Structure 1
Amino acid sequence: MGASSSTEQNVSSEQREVESLAASTGSISLLQNAFSKLADPQRNAIPLQSLQQCFSLNYENTECEAVKMPDSLLGLLDHLGPAMVDLFFVTDKGGVNWVEFIRGYLKCCGRMPVSALLNTLLRLLAATGGKAGIPLKLEVEAIDDGDYKISGSLLPIDVLVFLWMCWTMLWNSRTCRFLKEKEYLYLPDISPLVLSAVSSCAEGGRGLELWDCDILGLDIQLPAGEFLTWMMTTVTNLAECFTQFVNARLQNCASSEQDALESSSSSLREISPGKACNSCLLTGGRAWAISLAIRSTISKEILNPYFPSDSNATDENLLYRSSLHGRGLSRFWSNIEGYLGPLLILISATSGDANEDSTNSRKWIIGALTHQGFENRDVFYGTSGTLFAISPVFHVFSPSGKEKNFVYSHLHPTGRVYEPHPKPVGIAFGGTAGNERVFIDEDFAKVTLRHHAVDKTYLHGSLFPSQGFLPVEGLILEIEAWGLGGRKAREIQLSYKKREELFTDQRRKVDLKTFASWEDSPEKMMMDMVGDPNRVEREDR
């Protein structure tokens, strides 16, 4: 068959070229197995219907976290498979042959710049929307050398549907081993992401009221070029949702039915992500938004609690929660001490009335990601980090490269009674001592945010809408700390805690057998001091 003919003498140069490109992606064996499973042996080609079915999505049960799901979403997902095949794979009378199968795969998952991958996603949205009958104002224009120019505009509801389409592809790739095809689709609340695109791309978007904004009712045009720029700066990893989906579906087709049965029968954590994690600050939508902005293994680790798995990732990753473990820096420290992996800190606060029923309160959530454990130091430290505005609108503030004041975490000094110039006790991110961009006090009662002009460590931008130039003191509602170093970092922390507990127990114990007699015992010394504390004893020489 075509998948195995590359070793023969009559292989064309075209086939060698595409196979070489596929081999550079590390997927040549996957493509060979998938082709052998899908292809018609007589025609040595994949029937069009089989390839469409391979990439088709059809969910019957959906759970939406907050925003009402538009009716157009399910129609878009129903036409995703046929649109992909028409857009990327060239067919003839017999179907898709081996060379065109590889060529189509390279159009989806080949080595190309991030801008080209994101451009491909927008082309897929336009093609799928056309098949589903969704009126989109996107225009795709072909240019030389296979490049395409995207013009036109998007509405906020179009952005919502587009991002949910990308999430669904990621969800399918992560759950295909655990859930049946039509069993369940979980849609997180991604309103802050959509508002981020609106405020960044639309004319007049920065002056939009973002606190209580109805995304489905917004009639604002987002230019396609501006939207592509926003994706490149804010959600860089969005294209990986598509590439992971393509590889997972081909892997699923290449696997035997017996493997699929064994995988589906394996034990897994049967939970609803919306119900299990919505009580936390780090909801599914917020975790996905953060994962789209960071390019490392952390982006996968942060999403583990929101996909079916064989372990309880929520308990493993959540190290501290103020409402659960108690407020204050000491409580926080006792839960995160010894954790040497990346840490994500989330702070929920209000800059208005703390009363939950108050209409004047402005609740917001910010976050800070550190790539190392916390240390008790009276100066700034760290090698890298990122600040996030998470709610009501999402923004990313990466390192600027000018300074390295990433983290400050200082507890009360031990062993010293007086300090002439005491350093502030608390946690901070960015800025300088006494002029921090984000400062959390010792009691975890208040958080102070300052204008980005005081900070040269992180990029400029407001941490919540209408932050202003003056310092803002917010009342803390909740603080969470999530460990993103994987199971190994958690095991190292647990061993550290056990070792510290052992040392503490040893220091508390006094073994009387080590003293030779009553004269040498600590009880005798104490009795003598109580009886006559002013008595002077001469040392025997």
Structure 2
Amino acid sequence: MGASTSSEQSVPIEQREAENLAASTGALSTLQKCFSILADPHSGAIPSDSLQQCFRLSYENPVTGATAIPDSFPAVLDHLGPCIADLFFVSEKGGVSWIELVRGYNRCCARKPLSMSVTTLLRVFTATVKKAGLNCNLEFETGDDDCKITGWLMPVDVVMLLWMCWGMNWFSKEGRNLCVPDVKHIVLSAIESCAEGDSGVNVWEWEFSGEEVQLPVGKFLTWVLKTVPSLPGCFSEFVYAVLKHSASQEPGVECLTSSAAGTSSAADTSSTVECSSTLLSPGIAWAISLTLTGPLGEEISRACFPTDANEINNDLLYRSHLHGRGLNRFWSNVQGYQGPLLVLIAATSEDGSANKRNWIIGALTHQGFENRDLFYGSSGCLYALSPVFHAYPPAGKERNFVYSHLHPTGKVYEAKPKPVGIGFGGSMGNERIYVDEDFSKVTIRHHAADKTYQSGSLFPEQGFLPVDALITEVEIWGLGGRGAKDVQDSYKDREQLFTEQRRKVDLKTFANWEDSPEKMLMDMISNPNAIRREDR
């Protein structure tokens, strides 16, 4: 009783530990199927060439609608897959054995501290760019994930790293023609946080080509952990997606995602263009998704990798350009939605030289809007989105997350009327972000007035004084999934039914003198001391 079987005793302890670690992530059965399909029946191992082919990315010429793509970027994508296979899956004489496949998966995807995951990602990037014949100024002391890293990155290195992660994300989720986004706002965030001294970068007119700003790797690691903590997950998701795809193929069929990745249809292009025409461009959506985890991050990433333009547009609850400006128009489109919401505001302000500056900010709420005269909400996050990306999660000192108040219904006298509009953070009348009821002006205040969200500027050169800016566009995106949208649709149908019922008049009751208000009033005047009992 309690004795282990002979087969369990014959399995080495190292193999059992590796299998248990892979099983804790739910991937052991996937690895077993993958090994049974890829392994050579004679050697009992996966040929190294076959595993490299599985990780190799197949794509047409990558395109972007913003920044010019360096000629060296396709070479980075070409060498990414083989570098992953060589770094993490040790090949013996006959190829990659079962135990080495499991160990390689654990090195890439097993749970580990976030700092070690960032180190793993930088190791992959360094090996890939060097194999592509490019310069890299990062050095690792040992081959461990928690080793010390020295050196620095240039802005072009950050661009290549972000696009490499985007490519892995793209092939994990879509496997279609590669269209890389504009990541200028993320790179500028890294420059502002990591550059030593005054970088001299003009964020309003910056282009990464030819920029000679050194970003120390220690500061860069801190920036990743603070600003885009989900960036290393692009690598682990890609490795798992490749192995899962390999496990789903029939023996003898090419295991790579190239069958889906090498083609691009007109529907793909149209969906990408449609999504990019909104404030929530793929680059902005991806930057926000890198700050989130779980279902909320998956929901926002749907805007990064659109598969159906109509499906993405269903998540767009309100857009001032389409639905009209004003709090009432806004309210008619968001009322009844009880899921997380993403608010995007594009505005134009003037600097001291009367130069117009265009910028975009955002606010993420974890619940729907309510008509209240006080702050409410359980959590949220503020974003500086363009031209520089920053995220400001809750500070934990106050809970003034959201304020949304409409004019009271009916003619109600208020000695001290509450502000009518939408606000985030700060206090009543002193909100960190406040949008007036006409959606024509947004007021941005210094973070010193706000103890709900973390400190930081919402746009470059914000200053200490409140800034009034003209709103050019407002968008509200629902992130509650199909369920939240169905609930809102049911709510709207019910409200429409009630409205139609209230419009109907019962002429028989209206013509009955005994039930009319006029008769009750005349009876009270004729005998005000009469005792009347309400009919029940």
Q: TM-score, normalised by structure 1?
A: 0.90
CA contact 1:351–1:361 (8 Å) conserved in 2: yes
Q: What's the offset of the Cα at 1:259? A: 12
CA contact 2:282–2:305 (8 Å) conserved in 1: no
Q: 2:17 maps to which residue? A: 17
Structure 2 residue 238 is the aligned partner of structure 1 residue 245: yes
- The CA deviation string for residues 267-307 of structure 1, in whole angstroms up to 9 with x for no partner, is 99644444111210000000000000122311111121342
Provide the rounded CA distance (Å) in 1 between the counterparts of 2:40 and 2:182. Answer: 43
Q: What's the offset of the Cα at 1:85? A: 1.5
- The CA deviation string for residues 400-445 of structure 1, in whole angstroms up to 9 with x for no partner, is 0000000000100113432110111100000001111111001000
- The CA deviation string for residues 120-175 of structure 1, in whole angstroms up to 9 with x for no partner, is 000000111111111111111117x6632221111101100100000000000001
Pick aligned residue for 1:352 from 350, 353, 371: 350
Structure 2 residue 365 is the aligned partner of structure 1 residue 367: no
The range that moved more, 101-110 or 271-280, is 271-280
Provide the rounded CA distance (Å) in 2 between the counterparts of 1:272 and 1:135. Answer: 37
Q: 1:404 maps to which residue? A: 399
Q: 2:474 maps to which residue? A: 479
Q: 1:104 maps to which residue? A: 104
**Matching residue's letter, 2:367:** Q
Q: 2:157 maps to which residue? A: 158
Q: 1:503 maps to which residue? A: 498
Q: 2:174 maps to which residue? A: 175
The range that moved more, 449-458 or 296-305, is 296-305
Structure 2 residue 211 is the aligned partner of structure 1 residue 218: yes
1:151 aligned counterpart, secondary structure: strand
- The CA deviation string for residues 83-128 of structure 1, in whole angstroms up to 9 with x for no partner, is 1112111111111101111111111001101111111000000111
CA contact 1:344–1:368 (8 Å) conserved in 2: yes
Provide the rounded CA distance (Å) in 1 between the counterparts of 2:348 and 2:329. Answer: 22
Provide the rounded CA distance (Å) in 2 between the counterparts of 1:205 and 1:234. Answer: 21
CA contact 1:19–1:102 (8 Å) conserved in 2: yes
Q: 1:283 maps to which residue? A: 281
Q: What's the offset of the Cα at 1:536? A: 9.7
2:40 aligned counterpart, secondary structure: coil
Q: 2:247 maps to which residue? A: 254
Q: Aligned residues, how many?
A: 517
Q: 1:268 and 1:296, CA in 2 relative to 1: closer, same or farther beyond 3 A?
A: farther
CA contact 1:398–1:458 (8 Å) conserved in 2: yes
Q: 1:186 maps to which residue? A: 179
Structure 2 residue 226 is the aligned partner of structure 1 residue 233: yes
**Matching residue's letter, 1:229:** T
Q: 2:201 maps to which residue? A: 208
Q: What's the offset of the Cα at 1:15? A: 1.1
Q: 1:308 and 1:408, CA in 2 relative to 1: closer, same or farther beyond 3 A?
A: closer
Provide the rounded CA distance (Å) in 1 between the counterparts of 2:81 and 2:484. Answer: 40
**Matching residue's letter, 1:20:** N
Provide the rounded CA distance (Å) in 2 between the counterparts of 1:390 and 1:220. Answer: 22
**Matching residue's letter, 1:291:** S
Report 1:73-84 matches (<5 A): 73-84=73-84
Report 1:93-132 matches (<5 A): 93-132=93-132
Report 1:516-531 matches (<5 A): 519=513
Q: 1:158 and 1:109, CA in 2 relative to 1: closer, same or farther beyond 3 A?
A: same
Report 1:270-419 matches (<5 A): 270-309=268-307, 312-352=310-350, 360-419=355-414
Q: What's the offset of the Cα at 1:60? A: 1.6
Provide the rounded CA distance (Å) in 2 between the counterparts of 1:303 and 1:36. Answer: 33
Provide the rounded CA distance (Å) in 2 between the counterparts of 1:520 and 1:311. Answer: 60
2:294 aligned counterpart, secondary structure: coil
Q: 1:37 maps to which residue? A: 37
Structure 2 residue 455 is the aligned partner of structure 1 residue 460: yes
**Matching residue's letter, 2:29:** S
Q: 1:408 and 1:7, CA in 2 relative to 1: closer, same or farther beyond 3 A?
A: farther
Q: TM-score, normalised by structure 2?
A: 0.91
Provide the rounded CA distance (Å) in 2 between the counterparts of 1:475 and 1:160. Answer: 32
Q: What's the offset of the Cα at 1:191? A: 0.6
Q: 1:60 maps to which residue? A: 60
1:502 aligned counterpart, secondary structure: helix
1:480 aligned counterpart, secondary structure: strand
CA contact 1:448–1:472 (8 Å) conserved in 2: yes
CA contact 1:157–1:216 (8 Å) conserved in 2: yes
1:338 aligned counterpart, secondary structure: coil
Provide the rounded CA distance (Å) in 2 between the counterparts of 1:534 and 1:483. Answer: 54
Q: What's the offset of the Cα at 1:208? A: 2.9
**Matching residue's letter, 1:249:** V
- The CA deviation string for residues 172-191 of structure 1, in whole angstroms up to 9 with x for no partner, is 00013xx4xxxx10111111
**Runs of at least 5 residues in structure 2 that lack an aligned partner in the other structure:** none
CA contact 1:291–1:302 (8 Å) conserved in 2: yes
Structural RMSD (CA): 2.8
